[in-house]
Structure 1
Amino acid sequence: MHIYLVGGAVRDKLLGRPVVDHDHVVVGALPEDLLALGYQPVGKDFPVFLHPGTGEEYALARTERKTGRGYHGFVFQADASVTLEQDLARRDLTINAIAEDAQGVLTDPYHGVSDIEARVLRHVSPAFVEDPVRVLRVARFAARFAPLGFTVADETMALMRQMVDDGEVDHLVPERVWAETRKALGEPQPSAFLRVLRECGALAVLFPEVDALYGVPQRAEFHPEIDSGVHLEMVLDAAARLAPGDDLVGFCAFTHDLGKALTPADELPRHVGHEHRGVAPLRALTLRLKVPTEHAALAELVCREHLNAHRAFDLKPATVLKLLGALDALRRPTRLDTFLAACEADKRGRLGHEHDAYPQAGYLRAAHAAAAAVEASAFVEQGLAGPAIGAAMATARTKAIAAVKTNHPPS
């Protein structure tokens, strides 16, 4: 029995990045061998075990064979005869197909080390086309490693286009699409995720509402980048800078402008009412992909209310209180932070405006703090009851926000 460190752990060590997960492959063993050593089985589709001391994953070396469409259309063989090279061959990218033994010696049959040095995302073998999830994974790795200079190999992009053309991507289940998308939105450069999917044609299949933004013009005086799709890419990257690793902020940024694709042609490049037009396609997307409730709810609030955040200083105090109420921010203040991060990303996601200040965020946080300081107990002591308390609190909160506005200039 031989044990090797594999996959992302080896790749990230070679890149000088922190290693988060340690995955291992076991060659020359049977399930009963690991069970006898106290390993705990966890795999349903193939033999994976947890180390009795560290809790890290150890998988028996295996091969896989395509038997049908989609992610589940495979049969696996895992026994003592499967070699390390055979196990590595089934992996997606060469940079993920490197193994390291206990002495630190690398096994690299598919030249992943040289691809790391060349900053290339390249498929291991023609079997890449058998798993449509790999299209999303390549795009996600692009979002992670684009800041390091990684690009997708031409031949890999050609295979991805073939997979789209052959209808393989059509068979991806919503849960897998969402899982990979969610991870991509938490990566350092999510724009690369969109560009890779668009280049291979998968964006139009998986996210038609987003793909429709490309080529839609905006007013140059507000959006020097012109193209709504390019704007979205810039907003996603701004969100990643403002809230690193926060896929909730990322998803709000991802869907905030879907209404621009629905602006009547005779109104372009203006987009009056796009914040309301965007709600229907957003709901369609979240329903189709089974997006978590809070992601869907906050994304809709950002879609509908982001222009109110931008013009916060022009809003009446009562309207600011209404905005805080729509966000449920007085009970759930973290929602305001998410909302403001997405709105600030929208404002900064414009050519030449990447470092603009966003004083609206400070004002709305101060308004929230002032409103939250108004408590019901004071009005109960005055003898008020029932709806009268709520009305009195709304009046007091509006006055408190007005005072904040007086002392909080827009610049």
Structure 2
Amino acid sequence: MSEQRSFQGYHTERFRTPNNPSKQKELLGELREEEGLRVFRGHDGESYLRSIEQYQSSELVEGFQYVLEIAELIRAQEGRALLVGGSVRDEVLGMPSKDFDIEVYGIPLDQLKDLLESKGRVEIVGQSFGVLLFTTPGGFNLDVSIPRKDSKVGKSHKDFSIDPDPTMSILEAARRRDFTFNALAKDPLTGEIFDGFGGIDDLKHRVLRATDKELFADDPLRVLRAAQFIARFGLRSEPETLELIRSTVPSMDALSQDRFGTEWSKLLLKAVRPSAGLHALHEFGVIERFYPELLALHDTQQEFEWHPEGDVWTHTLMVVDEASRVARRHELEGARHRYLMYAALCHDLGKPSTTKHEDGRWRSKAHEPAGEEPTRSLLSRLGVKKDEIEVIVNLVKEHLWPGAMYRSFLKGEPVTEGAYRRIARRLAPATIEDLTYVMEADAGGRGPFLHPDQPDQLLLPFPDQAGAWVRERARAFGIDREKPQPVLQGRDLILLGLRPGKIFSAIISLADKLRDEGMSREQILWRLEGSTDAQEALRRLTHENSS
């Protein structure tokens, strides 16, 4: 597919204008120039609404219906409501948008609030910023603001002078936006798209360009935003913007690293090729300055037989891209998707501290458990929640287990149900299913390999069968998506005549261990029958375990 055709997102089904193919060809045609803006033709309100009615959720449809109602309401008051930011960029790219931000010209904030309250619930979320939160009856949120000018007045990210001004021009209001494609604005009623900084051409040629080079460094978080946009939209930084980003990196020291989380999440979860964003962060100097755990992967060598792609950094870039494919293949969403992507990023963080050249080969013995500390350290600074860090750490520590079990199976060695129960308990709150997805990404993120019989031929890794095999076995045991239930519960011990107490947990834990070793529930209960108290019951199981 040519660059031009891939750019013409309006030719995709998700934004096709029903029964009007001639109108399709006119979209994104330049209409005129006015007040320093190039004006392009986009979907008018009616055609955009028909498009999302066909392909998007009822909540999004309701949200856009209220965008149109608000725009009509503002127009009746001789103001103008424009869509700004991501929804306009996404429309130009032919992508669906999940939210709509409205900027209102010609109406003071107090009057705007009164007008909106006639349509739904309104909250002031940023009085000084001129931002209102409008909630539709169905619960869809719209950010509605008036134009403003931001001026940096100190070193902190909070040190800004905010000047809301509904009389600003579209061009001046757009100047504070980070990149040219985010400086687009659109009249939702007429479909006219206003471009003051060449954003549409930059999207067409997949170029990342700062909107205003003087204002860019006012918010150093834009460095991370640049990386996630590069990853999501397949962009390349134009030279001046690249140097501008590099010069802004030291200013990130003043930011709380908690603010980094959203941008990292978008980079890993929304991009088809997250590796492009990671490569950009390295090119910007962010990896070197803030993430020693990732920097250490560079030049950490791997054995060519298993990793012909190169060092651990190169392997990690390939693994996160493969993880993105695994997520799409298995339709992972929400927490399951997050676990996979962050585990893929961190899975080999233990290699720098364990890799040695022994007997003529590179070896990274016990790198899985060695990855726990750097994984915790890195994820805590990427804004990952504490409970999710526990899940991801467990996946990192056990990421070789599925492959090891499958190789044992191929060799004819026994792989017991107890082995599955033990790994399921070690993983919790992660699951065996989660673990197999990480393994698939790891196995697929390698190569190409030399053909053993034809040195001039290269081989890509075969689709790994271990993941499906392990999932099938775990599913048969009922523990693919949860840890095993205890073989005994407190009520079982009470029925045996034992008095409840702290020792119950030790009995239940030991009973689980015996079951893992092949003893049935009935056999365990038989051995406990006749116990006079919990201490004797524990001694009986302890004797059985040691015999």
Shared fold by TM > 0.5? yes
Which of 57, 82, 89 does residue 175 from structure 2 map onto? 89
Give the partner amino acid of 2:421: L
1:121 matched to 2:208? The reply is: yes
RMSD: 2.7
- Superposed displacement of residue 172, structure 1: 2.3
1:287-310 Cα offsets, whole Å, 9 max, x none, are 344521232112211221112232
- For structure 2, list consecutive stretches of 5 or more residues without a partner in the other structure: 1-78, 409-413, 449-459, 499-503, 521-547
1:142-190 Cα offsets, whole Å, 9 max, x none, are 11112xxx222222111111112xx212222111112211221102211
Describe the shift of the 1:112–1:288 C-alpha distance in structure 2 as closer, same or farther (beyond 3 A). closer
- For structure 1, list consecutive stretches of 5 or more residues without a partner in the other structure: 402-411
Q: Secondary structure at the match of 2:314?
A: helix
Higher relative contact order (CA 8 A, sep 6+): 1
1:306-338 Cα offsets, whole Å, 9 max, x none, are 12232023385344432111012xxx5x63322
- Superposed displacement of residue 380, structure 1: 4.2
**Is the Cα–Cα contact under 8 Å of residues 48 and 58 in structure 1 kept in the other structure?**
yes
**Is the Cα–Cα contact under 8 Å of residues 80 and 105 in structure 2 kept in the other structure?**
yes
Q: Distance in 2 between matches of 1:377 and 1:218?
A: 46
Give the partner amino acid of 1:135: V
Which of 340, 344, 348 does residue 249 from structure 1 map onto? 340
**Is the Cα–Cα contact under 8 Å of residues 447 and 461 in structure 2 kept in the other structure?**
yes
TM-score using structure 2 length: 0.66
Q: Distance in 2 between matches of 1:289 and 1:114?
A: 33
1:6 matched to 2:105? The reply is: no
Residue of structure 2 in register with 1:151 after alignment? 236
Q: Secondary structure at the match of 2:190?
A: coil
Residue of structure 1 in register with 2:423 after alignment? 323
Q: Distance in 2 between matches of 1:226 and 1:191?
A: 15
**Is the Cα–Cα contact under 8 Å of residues 148 and 162 in structure 2 kept in the other structure?**
yes
Residue of structure 1 in register with 2:392 after alignment? 299
Residue of structure 2 in register with 1:49 after alignment? 132
Describe the shift of the 1:69–1:361 C-alpha distance in structure 2 as closer, same or farther (beyond 3 A). farther
Residue of structure 2 in register with 1:189 after alignment? 273
**Is the Cα–Cα contact under 8 Å of residues 355 and 362 in structure 2 kept in the other structure?**
no
Which of 431, 453, 461 does residue 335 from structure 1 map onto? 431
**Is the Cα–Cα contact under 8 Å of residues 174 and 184 in structure 2 kept in the other structure?**
yes
Q: Distance in 2 between matches of 1:370 and 1:203?
A: 43
Q: Secondary structure at the match of 1:56?
A: strand
**Is the Cα–Cα contact under 8 Å of residues 2 and 28 in structure 1 kept in the other structure?**
yes
1:236-277 Cα offsets, whole Å, 9 max, x none, are 011111114622211111111111222355557321122122
Residue of structure 2 in register with 1:362 after alignment? 469
Residue of structure 1 in register with 2:107 after alignment? 29
1:91-147 Cα offsets, whole Å, 9 max, x none, are 01111111111211121010111111111111111111221110100101111112x
Q: Distance in 1 between matches of 2:420 and 2:390?
A: 19
- Superposed displacement of residue 392, structure 1: 4.4
TM-score using structure 1 length: 0.87
Q: Secondary structure at the match of 2:365?
A: coil
Describe the shift of the 1:52–1:173 C-alpha distance in structure 2 as closer, same or farther (beyond 3 A). closer
1:40-64 Cα offsets, whole Å, 9 max, x none, are 3222651211335463111110111
**Is the Cα–Cα contact under 8 Å of residues 422 and 516 in structure 2 kept in the other structure?**
no
Residue of structure 2 in register with 1:142 after alignment? 230
Give the partner amino acid of 1:89: R
1:328-370 Cα offsets, whole Å, 9 max, x none, are 2xxx5x6332222122211111123455223244325523642
Identity of aligned residues (%): 31
Residue of structure 2 in register with 1:219 after alignment? 303
Q: How many aligned positions are there?
A: 392
Q: Distance in 2 between matches of 1:184 and 1:35?
A: 35
Q: Distance in 1 between matches of 2:471 and 2:285?
A: 40
Describe the shift of the 1:217–1:375 C-alpha distance in structure 2 as closer, same or farther (beyond 3 A). closer
Describe the shift of the 1:214–1:389 C-alpha distance in structure 2 as closer, same or farther (beyond 3 A). closer
Q: Distance in 2 between matches of 1:72 and 1:362?
A: 52
- Superposed displacement of residue 69, structure 1: 2.5
Q: Distance in 2 between matches of 1:145 and 1:89?
A: 22
Q: Secondary structure at the match of 2:421?
A: helix
Residue of structure 2 in register with 1:407 after alignment? none
Decide which structure has the larger Cα Rg and report it.
Answer: 2
1:108 matched to 2:195? The reply is: yes
Q: Secondary structure at the match of 1:69?
A: coil
